[in-house]
Structure 1
Amino acid sequence: MNLQRKHLELIQALQTSETLAAAATKLHMTPSALSHQLGELEERVGLAVVNRKAKPLHLTAAGKRLFETAQDILPRFDRLEADLTRQVKGLGGRLSIAIDCHSCYLWLLPTLDQFRRQWPDVELDLSGGFSFDSLQALAAGDLDFVITADPEPLNGITYIPLFQYESMLILPLDHPLSQVEEIQPAMLKEQTLIIYPVPPRKMDIFRLFLRPADIEPAHIRHSELTVMMVALVASGRGLCSLPNWAADEYIDRNFVTARSLGQGIFNTLHAAVREESLQLTYMQDFLLLAKDLPFSTLKGIARPA
């Protein structure tokens, strides 16, 4: 049938006009051009869409069905054109963000708030990376910005370092390891480790501390929420590992204590972005905020080397 936007606009004009001539005026067409387009539409539909003999004009059942569709679809076209125009001018667009590191929400909130103030026409969306591969989704165009501590080489993806942090071992206040001067991998062999529901290879404590020493904890328990992980640790149900800046709040309130892993396990948080997105002004501004604001809100982080 191959109906086009112009056909829906024609139906909309006919519904709101008393004569073909009036409809032609609304569409900035001559009456003969409108009659030709109307004939083309009815040929494609296979039915009459307007009763030409009625005074005023009256849509047929088929015409009314087309008008209902026009009411739904034409505003979508208008919004699409407006959105694309804003993107071309660099005034708006979409910024869909995923977080791979799972304890990043706290530091990100001031960045999101400041960005919304500066770019109110950019649509923000935020999701966690528990149930899907966020970097692959970024490469496929389903996401626009991924925060990760585990960069993977992918074609078309650029990684921008944000800040460096230390991964700490979080323990109950009365745990025997809290008295140990330097935590060694073998000391965790009999422990229960509480982690986010992601593959262990994505966790700093496994990738940078335990696995190089060929050590696995006795048990692994999962929790999606940082605060729940800390509560489990405080109640003696296991140990966990958190970035130093994420652990500070709970340590300062004397809920738990922390120790360095070995002589210190340090990693860098990165922003992953498609290369073509770096040309967008709002993306450049978001990156600047993500790189600068954490140093005024977080303790224990450092500029990337």
Structure 2
Amino acid sequence: MYDPTRLAALVAVAEAGSITRAAERLGYTPPALSQQLAKLEREAGAALLVRHHRGTRLTAAGELLVARARRVLDELERARHELASLGGLSGGRLRVGTFMTAGTQLLPPVLSAFRRAHPDVELVVAEYEPPHGVAAVARGETDLALTHTYEPGPVVDPPAGVALEPLMTEELVLVTAPGHALSAGAGRLPRAELAGQPLVSSAPDNANRRQVEAVLAGEGASVAVRCETPGYVLVCALVSAGLGVAVVPEMVARVAVTPLGVRRLDPAGLRRTISVAYRAEEAAPAAETLRALLRGGFGRPS
């Protein structure tokens, strides 16, 4: 049986004329969308697309499957709309809090899937630097919020009535200027080799980051540049310019807009866990549905 998500990907490519444009429409990266299409071709047992310098075109098998896929997706959309009406998802507003990295890299495909299934629900997205999103959920300002914690870091219980559901955990990695001596080599870098290295940090008031920096200080690294901003964009830019090294979540390093050297550390005890905060005793259909999509969506390759 064909996966409806992959059928929708094929239809999007047929309509957009290229994998890149279809990926932008669906909220995927082009490599992730290509993987979905490759799996669909294996399921179909035939080539469905031909790539050329201006984009893609459908093969005969692709044309046939797209025609059938549109009918299947239309029926599924009707079913979703009817079920949404029964479940209270035919209108209303869903307020979602997020922090920058998750909001730009992880949340858009999930919200896109939610919107396709429930087009009548108004989405409101607000940015909260952790842990402020958790407090916003407790105050009723937002229905759920993405947040994060670091390891090592303090264990802080959420406010009364708020629960945290972990979605994914990622390593913290070393980032350096391109060509830096510490970025050479494919294996893990012993943390002891950070001794004497100037550190670029964004943790003036963040208890989680302070604990991470305490570990790095124990290895001999000391803060040379302190950014009075919680975001990692400026940190990575300063590192890229050679003002020091930094330890950042792997996702941050992967999507940095400035060139960086990246190296995993040994031992691998520095981590960041991304969770969703929600009001535990309020099972609003829209919030519950989005939580289910977050559970599945955060496991999808980006």
Q: Same fold (TM over 0.5)?
A: yes
Indicate the residue corresponding to 1:211 in structure 2: 214
1:157, distance to aligned residue in structure 2 (A): 0.9
Once residues 271 and 301 of structure 2 are traced to their aligned partners in structure 1, the CA distance between those partners, rounded to angstroms, is: 19
Q: Secondary structure at the residue paired with 2:141?
A: coil
Residue 287 in structure 1 maps to residue 282 in structure 2: no
Structure 1: stretches of 5+ with no match in the other structure: 1-85, 299-305
Q: Secondary structure at the residue paired with 1:192?
A: strand
Deviation by residue 1:256-282 (Cα, 9 ceiling, x = unmatched): 1112243112332111101133x2222
For the 8 Å contact 1:111–1:290, the answer to whether it is kept is yes
Residue type matched to 1:159 in 2?
L
Residue type matched to 1:286 in 2?
L
Residue 161 in structure 1 maps to residue 160 in structure 2: no
1:96, distance to aligned residue in structure 2 (A): 1.9
Change (3 A) 1:235 1:273: same
Residue 269 in structure 1 maps to residue 267 in structure 2: no
Once residues 214 and 237 of structure 1 are traced to their aligned partners in structure 2, the CA distance between those partners, rounded to angstroms, is: 17
Once residues 216 and 254 of structure 2 are traced to their aligned partners in structure 1, the CA distance between those partners, rounded to angstroms, is: 27
For the 8 Å contact 2:175–2:245, the answer to whether it is kept is yes
Deviation by residue 1:237-294 (Cα, 9 ceiling, x = unmatched): 33333322332244xx9921112243112332111101133x2222222112112123
Q: Kindly report which structure 2 residues correspond to 1:160-199, keeping only aligned pairs within 5 A, or say none.
A: 160-179=165-184, 182-184=189-191, 187=194, 190-195=197-202, 199=205
Indicate the residue corresponding to 1:201 in structure 2: 207
Name the Cα RMSD after superposition.
3.2
Change (3 A) 1:131 1:191: same
Bigger Rg, which one: 1
Match for 1:244 among 231, 246, 250?
250
1:133, distance to aligned residue in structure 2 (A): 2.4
1:166, distance to aligned residue in structure 2 (A): 1.1
Residue type matched to 1:231 in 2?
A
Indicate the residue corresponding to 1:119 in structure 2: 118
Q: Secondary structure at the residue paired with 2:278?
A: strand
1:172, distance to aligned residue in structure 2 (A): 0.9
Once residues 296 and 204 of structure 2 are traced to their aligned partners in structure 1, the CA distance between those partners, rounded to angstroms, is: 28
TM-score by length of 2: 0.57
Once residues 275 and 201 of structure 2 are traced to their aligned partners in structure 1, the CA distance between those partners, rounded to angstroms, is: 24
Once residues 191 and 182 of structure 1 are traced to their aligned partners in structure 2, the CA distance between those partners, rounded to angstroms, is: 16
Identity %: 21
Deviation by residue 1:137-172 (Cα, 9 ceiling, x = unmatched): 211111211111227312111111111211112111
Residue type matched to 1:127 in 2?
A
Structure 2: stretches of 5+ with no match in the other structure: 1-84, 150-154
Count of matched residue positions in the alignment of Structure 1 and Structure 2:
205
Q: Secondary structure at the residue paired with 1:173?
A: coil
Once residues 216 and 239 of structure 2 are traced to their aligned partners in structure 1, the CA distance between those partners, rounded to angstroms, is: 24
TM-score by length of 1: 0.57
For the 8 Å contact 1:189–1:217, the answer to whether it is kept is no
1:94, distance to aligned residue in structure 2 (A): 2.7
Once residues 197 and 114 of structure 2 are traced to their aligned partners in structure 1, the CA distance between those partners, rounded to angstroms, is: 45
Residue type matched to 2:241 in 1?
S
Change (3 A) 1:267 1:254: closer
Q: Secondary structure at the residue paired with 1:142?
A: coil
Change (3 A) 1:213 1:199: same
Once residues 193 and 173 of structure 2 are traced to their aligned partners in structure 1, the CA distance between those partners, rounded to angstroms, is: 16
